[in-house]
Amino acid sequence: MNAIRLARTVTKCYSMRSYSMAPCEILELLEAGYQRLAESDSQSLLKKHLTKSIFDKLKTKVTPSYCSTLLDCIQSGLCNHDSAVGIYAPDPEAYKTFADIFDPIISDIHKGFGKANKHPASCYGYGADFPNLDPEQKYVVSTRVRCARSIQDFPFNPCLSEEDYRNLECMISKVLLTFCHEHSGKYLPLKGMDKEVQKKLIDNHYLFKEGDRFLQAANASRFWPTGRGIFMNRDRTFMVWVNEEDHIRVISMERGGDLGRAYERMIIGLESLAFSLKFSCDKRLGNLTFCPSNLGNTIRASVHIRLPHIGKDKAKLEELAGKHNLQVRGTSGEHSEAKDGVYDISNKRRMGLTEYQTIGEMHKGISALIEAECRESSKK
Ligand code: ARG
């Protein structure tokens, strides 16, 4: 822990950095952190793929524009041995400078998306192609679709200055406030937000939580709450998070199982943003995000779903979901437990396939889970 606290002070001022290789104090922290990770029983992808030879090859490197080091990429995983992934890109160049560790992790998360693979161009298609998953509302409580974008020419959280945060917030909220019809709404900055209002928004799953230790250890919560906020439409079905994990998260939500409608609303919002803002993209990796788990088309579609029969055995549910490339989480999402038998189930794949294909895979998988639940319940 001390080492990480020290790392935070050492890594504070990116704008003042100008070195061509990692300085001694960073190397010492890296060596000590690596040693502890190697001795731990961590199941993270970082531990799995960061061999000694890759570590030695990368430990002195820095990214060309921001001088980000290997420590900036992996300090969250070094601090949190219970990480699933354990690595973030402090700036867009990190994916290239530290490709020897990012590539195997990307391939592991995104089912074999390797060096020779190239993420396809966007294809949104039409939400109307996907019929309601559960018209009688027996299983699907709610549906949510989100995607992430980074603004070109800005680094990611750990390298942003306080002024960058303010500028990003200003640029993004200005565009959002021009939205009309279903998408028109208000921008609520986190700074100065009433605590009760904030709590309500979090409890209703509209707003991001505070104090994520994985992000904090990655140096991604500096100057909090400056520059962070949420845009919401009147119906509370369309939201945009500003400067949480990514510069932009576009979110669309529905009661019930109308995945196609939620998807269509998100795409319209995203395209309206793209009209005025330029996003960071890589020829091979697709849209660039802070966490490698979100690269590619960046889409995470999820349902809150009641599966009382097939959900009795979590391991079996996970196995069945896995067959359809779906992931099972607890009710409040990542790192949470299921409450009242309600699971959060989402697509796993977002690299190497288009947005439309990702939604198609999700639609097919959730339909299959509902069918399995029906079969199981009619047996009893
Ligand atoms: N860094 C965390 C971990 O490794 C989160 C990884 C994926 N989730 C995310 N929100 N990016 O467990």
Task: Please say if the pLDDT value at position 339 is more than 80.
Answer: no
Q: What is the pLDDT of residue 225?
A: 98
Q: Which of 45, 47, 300, 334 for a ligand 1 pocket mutation test, highest count of atoms within 8 Å of Cβ?
A: 334
Q: Write out pLDDT tens, residues 179-198.
A: 999 999 999 999 999 999 99
Q: What is the pLDDT of residue 16?
A: 66
Q: What is the pLDDT of residue 27?
A: 97
Amino acid at residue number 253: M
**Those residues with Cβ within 8 angstroms of residue 62's Cβ, 6 or more apart along the chain or in another chain:** 19, 20, 21, 22, 68, 69, 97
Which part of the chain has CATH 1.10.135.10?
Answer: 3-109
Using a 6 Å cutoff on CB, does residue 292 contact ligand 1? no
CATH fold of the domain at 127-379: Creatine Kinase; Chain A, domain 2 (3.30.590)
Q: Write out pLDDT tens, residues 215-267.
A: 999 999 999 999 999 999 999 999 999 999 999 999 999 999 999 999 999 99
Percentage of the residues of the chain whose pLDDT score is greater than 70: 94
Task: Please say if the pLDDT value at position 6 is more than 70.
Answer: no
Residue appearing with tokens 């061999």: 51
State in Å: Cα 92 to ligand 1 middle.
Answer: 17
State in Å: Cα 335 to ligand 1 middle.
Answer: 9
Binding residues for ATP: 142-146, 205, 249, 300-304, 329-334
Q: What is the pLDDT of residue 4?
A: 46
Residue appearing with tokens 């994985």: 214
Which part of the chain has CATH 3.30.590.10?
Answer: 127-379
Task: Please say if the pLDDT value at position 270 is more than 70.
Answer: yes
Q: What is the pLDDT of residue 287?
A: 98
Would you say the pTM of this structure is higher than 0.85? yes
Cβ atoms of 59 and 22 within 8 Å: the answer is yes
Using a 6 Å cutoff on CB, does residue 311 contact ligand 1? no
Please report, for residues 86, 267, 334, the alpha-carbon distance to residue 337 in angstroms, rounded to integers and kept in the order given.
21, 30, 9
Q: How far apart are the first and last CA of the chain?
A: 52
Q: What is the pLDDT of residue 9?
A: 46
Tally Cβ neighbours within 10 Å of residue 6.
14
Tally Cβ neighbours within 10 Å of residue 107.
17
pLDDT-derived band at 5, boundaries 50, 70, 90: very low
Residue 302, token pair as written in the block: 């999820």
Q: Which of 239, 247, 207 is nearest to 198 (CA)?
A: 207
Q: Which of 64, 58, 67 is nearest to 30 (CA)?
A: 58
Q: Which residue has the higher pLDDT, 334 or 184?
A: 184
Q: What is the pLDDT of residue 340?
A: 78
Q: Which residue has the higher pLDDT, 348 or 5?
A: 348
**Those residues with Cβ within 8 angstroms of residue 353's Cβ, 6 or more apart along the chain or in another chain:** 120, 296, 297, 361
How far is Cα of residue 373 from the mean position of the Cα atoms in its chain?
29
Rounded Cα distance, 334 and 230, in Å: 20
pLDDT-derived band at 330, boundaries 50, 70, 90: confident
pLDDT-derived band at 335, boundaries 50, 70, 90: low
Q: What is the pLDDT of residue 298?
A: 98
Mean pLDDT of 322-334: 85
**Element housing 105 (H / E):** helix 99-109
H helices within 126-247, ranges in order?
162-176, 195-203, 213-217
Q: What is the pLDDT of residue 15?
A: 58
State in Å: Cα 334 to ligand 1 middle.
Answer: 8
pLDDT-derived band at 8, boundaries 50, 70, 90: very low
Using a 6 Å cutoff on CB, does residue 293 contact ligand 1? yes
Tally Cβ neighbours within 10 Å of residue 112.
10
Q: Which of 85, 109, 219, 244 for a ligand 1 pocket mutation test, highest count of atoms within 8 Å of Cβ?
A: 85
Q: Write out pLDDT tens, residues 157-175.
A: 999 999 999 999 999 999 9
pLDDT-derived band at 341, boundaries 50, 70, 90: confident
Q: What is the pLDDT of residue 334?
A: 65
Which residue has the CA at smallest separation from atom 9 of ligand 1?
291
Q: What is the pLDDT of residue 146?
A: 98
Q: What is the pLDDT of residue 19?
A: 86
Using a 6 Å cutoff on CB, does residue 243 contact ligand 1? no
Q: Write out pLDDT tens, residues 76-113.
A: 999 999 999 999 999 999 999 999 999 999 999 998 89
Percentage of the residues of the chain whose pLDDT score is greater than 90: 87
Q: Which of 71, 47, 48, 50 is nearest to 59 (CA)?
A: 71
Amino acid at residue number 78: L
Using a 6 Å cutoff on CB, does residue 85 contact ligand 1? yes
In the predicted model, what is the mean pLDDT of the chain? 94
Task: Please say if the pLDDT value at position 1 is more than 50.
Answer: no
Q: Which of 373, 239, 348, 225 is nearest to 297 (CA)?
A: 348
pLDDT-derived band at 333, boundaries 50, 70, 90: low
Mean pLDDT of 126-148: 97
Using a 6 Å cutoff on CB, does residue 245 contact ligand 1? yes
Using a 6 Å cutoff on CB, does residue 54 contact ligand 1? no
Amino acid at residue number 375: R
The second-level CATH assignment, the architecture, of 3-109 is: Orthogonal Bundle (1.10)
Amino acid at residue number 327: Q
Across 34-184, the runs of DSSP E, i.e. the strands, are 140-149
Cβ atoms of 327 and 348 within 8 Å: the answer is yes
Residue 179, token pair as written in the block: 């939205």
